[in-house]
Amino acid sequence: MAQVLVWAEHDGAVLKDATRSAVIAAAQLGTVHVLVAGAGVDGVAQVASAIAGVDKVLVADDAAYAHGLAENVAPLIVGLMADYDAFLAPATTTGKNIAPRVAALLDVAQISEILSVEGPRTFTRPIYAGNAIATVESSDAKLVITVRGTAFAKAGDGGPASIETVSATGDTGQSSFIGAETAASERPELTSARVVVSGGRALKDAATFEQVLFPLADRLQAAVGASRAAVDAGFAPNDCQVGQTGKIVAPEVYLAVGISGAIQHLAGMKDSKTIVAINKDEDAPIFQIADIGLVADLFEAVPALTASL
Amino acid sequence: MKILVPVKRVLDYNVKPRVKADGTGVDLANVKMSINPFDEIAVEEAVRLKEQGIASEVVVVSIGPAKAQEVLRSALAMGADRAILVQSDSEVEPLGVAKILQVIADDETPDLILLGKQAIDDDSNQVGQMLAALLGRPQGTFASKLVVEGDHVLVTREVDGGLETLRLALPAIVTTDLRLNAPRYASLPNIMKAKSKPLAIKTPEDYGVDVAPRLRVSKVAEPAVRGVGIRVADVDGLVAKLKELGVA
């Protein structure tokens, strides 16, 4: 049975759900160990050890891993990979930053953003912004894979797995963390929310975007997203962007408000379970993939909708 | 400082990809091909650094078919100084591309390597990180801002929760995200000038790199088609549907 090492995505305090999806994918390949690398990550390790299907948690606790710097983390993973057949990371910005560095050091090809496990070495993955799905088989000795979280279920909790400390590989000194600007929000996180309300350029400006969309999102306990056009126009911050070049989301219900449905946007949300579109242009491409469509002026329809919920 | 910018020729981003009927890939016959948009941003950034007097030379390189000369000429028209085409008629996987670029970087010794975060055809998002690993250099991926300061570079990265800034020791590898800049249109005089700029043609064998594929693509298929949706007449109809879905 293959031994699989999974990268735990966390912010130092909270284990991200994307890890749970990677565990589901990893369990289809073999025995799952989870690597928690960071500084002061005992709490994260405890949470990881409670995930169903996890056999063991490896903890690398060192200041060098505090911000997930690829230059410091990759040598740690490469060292551990002597004992594993596959390395899986969630396809988050952290996973995408680290996994190819690991793959190159192991001299193996990486398989990016898998959607399914078809066999011990065979996977499906999206190409051309999800306009085609490729079935890919690896001939390498070891597998390095990133996992698209929205394509897999999230592992729940189970029995506690054992926790083992691994020794740190140190700071390469090549890069250092200067600072971060994180967007604080009381709403659910975009990539894990059950309902997403997204707005497009039709919302006119940032103030209108907030006035029209936020009350509806709050009523539905939804996360707020935006099309690239709306983000580029400054209506919403970058981290709200849903699309090929933004976040990939697949909530139970995706409400697209005043969004035309450019290929770029569809690539990020078309795997949502139910897509609802409100747009006054009945020929907007978004209606071709919407399960429920309402042709209406959003400035009348959205406040009316918010009021009747 | 010298900047190396790898660029890829890909299906133009405005063209809707069509999967071939036999499931062997996406149909690229007689469709518009262009420079990968993220790579175009990398070229723009390199040329701006040259205009600011920070960079002294911008070298662009592409690995692909003979026709990839077109994207190299576009980059030269934007202001790059010279180009290298590593000609290969078969698809070279990201690891092979990174290995060729490693040898070129060893020859050229650039202070900064700037490239797109991903190509919009295979969407792999690997080459920059792999190249950084092979060269043993720091990496700044998904850059939306780049400031060169002496022997290091400050890179602001677009990450899941917002932005983060890293300090990388030069030489470094930086991959570009959309908001780093808006690439210029090349002027006609610059397009003419680009025709006479040097463009060297090489092969993977010239660099002694084995680019045999590690992955076998057994099938390329259209994504599952969604069922036909319904239209509701008014807001009340929509409310009823949302209630059925259990979200209202």
Residues of A in contact with B122 (CB under 8 A): 127
Taking the CA of residue B197 and the nearest CA in chain A, the distance in Å comes to 32
User: Which of the pair, B94 or A190, is modelled with greater confidence?
Assistant: B94
> Of the ranges A50-54, A236-240, B128-132, B138-142, which one carries the lowest mean pLDDT score?
A236-240
| pLDDT band for position A209 (cuts 50, 70, 90) | very high
DSSP conformation letters of A37-84: EESS-HHHHHHHHTBTTEEEEEEEE-GGGTT--HHHHHHHHHHHGGG-
| Contacts for B80 with CB less than 8 Å, ≥ 6 apart | B5, B43, B46, B47, B58, B59, B60, B197
Asked if residue A185 has pLDDT above 80, the reply is: no
Instruction: Identify the residue whose tokens are 């090929």.
Output: A244
The secondary structure of residue A171, as a DSSP letter, is -
Tell which of B181, B235, B241 to mutate to test the A interface (max A CBs under 10 Å). B235
The β-bridge relationship of strands B57-64 and B162-169 is unpaired
Residue among A227, A262, A274, A267 nearest A248 (CA): A267
Tokens for B127, please give them.
């080459």
Residues of A in contact with B121 (CB under 8 A): 127-128
* Confidence (pLDDT) at A15: 96
* Confidence (pLDDT) at B38: 95
Q: Is A236 exposed, middle or buried (0-12, 13-18, 19+ CB in 10 A)?
A: buried
Q: Provide, rounded to the nearest whole percent, the portion of chain A with pLDDT above 90.
A: 85
Judged by CB atoms closer than 8 Å, whether chains meet at A308 and B154 is answered as: no
Distances (CA, A) of B11 to A166, A180, A230, A259: 45, 35, 25, 25
Contact status of B145 with chain A (Cβ, < 8 Å): no
Residues of A in contact with B166 (CB under 8 A): 69, 175-178
Work out the number of other CB atoms within 10 angstroms of the CB of residue B183. 18
Summarize the confidence of residues A28-54 as an average pLDDT. 98
**Strand, helix or coil for residue B109:** coil
Residue among B175, B160, B45 nearest A237 (CA): B160
Query: Among A103, A175, A180, whose Cβ lies nearest the Cβ of B168?
Result: A175
* Confidence (pLDDT) at B28: 94
CA distance B222 to B157: 33
For B41-75, b/e burial (b = at least 16 CB within 10 A) is bbbbbbbbbbeeebbeebbbbbbbeeebbebbbbb
Q: At what angle do helices B127-135 and B94-108 cross, to 10 degrees?
A: 50
| pLDDT band for position A248 (cuts 50, 70, 90) | confident
* Confidence (pLDDT) at B228: 84
Q: pLDDT tens across B27-79, in order?
A: 999 999 999 999 999 999 999 999 999 999 999 999 999 999 999 999 999 99
Contact B1, B148 (CB under 8 A): yes
Asked if residue A135 has pLDDT above 80, the reply is: yes
Summarize the confidence of residues A217-242 as an average pLDDT. 92
CA distance A115 to A135: 10
Tell which of B93, B129, B222 to mutate to test the A interface (max A CBs under 10 Å). B129
Tell which of B117, B120, B134, B214 to mutate to test the A interface (max A CBs under 10 Å). B214
Sheet holding B82-87, edge to edge: A175-182, B162-169, B152-159, B139-149, B172-176, B112-116, B2-7, B57-64, B82-87, B199-202
Which chain B residue's Cα is nearest to A111?
Answer: B124
CA distance A157 to A139: 34
Residue among B28, B33, B35, B32 nearest B7 (CA): B35
* Confidence (pLDDT) at A7: 98
- The stretches in chain B having pLDDT less than 50 are none
Judged by CB atoms closer than 8 Å, whether chains meet at B235 and A70 is answered as: no
* Confidence (pLDDT) at A21: 96
CA distance A213 to A199: 7
Contact status of B87 with chain A (Cβ, < 8 Å): no
* Confidence (pLDDT) at B226: 83
**Strand, helix or coil for residue B198:** coil
* Confidence (pLDDT) at B43: 98
Asked if residue A245 has pLDDT above 80, the reply is: no
Q: Is B30 exposed, middle or buried (0-12, 13-18, 19+ CB in 10 A)?
A: exposed
Judged by CB atoms closer than 8 Å, whether chains meet at A287 and B131 is answered as: no
Distances (CA, A) of A158 to A50, A55, A151, A174, B140: 6, 10, 22, 39, 37
DSSP conformation letters of A196-232: EEEE-GGG-SHHHHHHHHHHHHHHTT-EEEE-HHHHH
Q: pLDDT tens across A60-78, in order?
A: 999 999 999 999 999 999 9
Instruction: Identify the residue whose tokens are 């993939």.
Output: A289
Q: pLDDT tens across A266-309, in order?
A: 989 998 999 999 999 999 999 999 999 999 999 999 999 999 98
Tokens for A217, please give them.
């999102």
DSSP conformation letters of B152-182: EEEEEEEETTEEEEEEEESSEEEEE-GGG--
Which chain A residue's Cα is nearest to B164?
Answer: A180
Contact B133, A101 (CB under 8 A): yes
Residue among A177, A173, A18, A161 nearest A99 (CA): A18
Query: Among B122, B139, B245, whose Cβ lies nearest the Cβ of A70?
Result: B139
* Cα pseudo-dihedral A129, A133, A138, A143, rounded to 10: 60
Contact status of B225 with chain A (Cβ, < 8 Å): no
Judged by CB atoms closer than 8 Å, whether chains meet at B141 and A177 is answered as: no
Q: Average pLDDT over chain A, rounded to whole?
A: 94
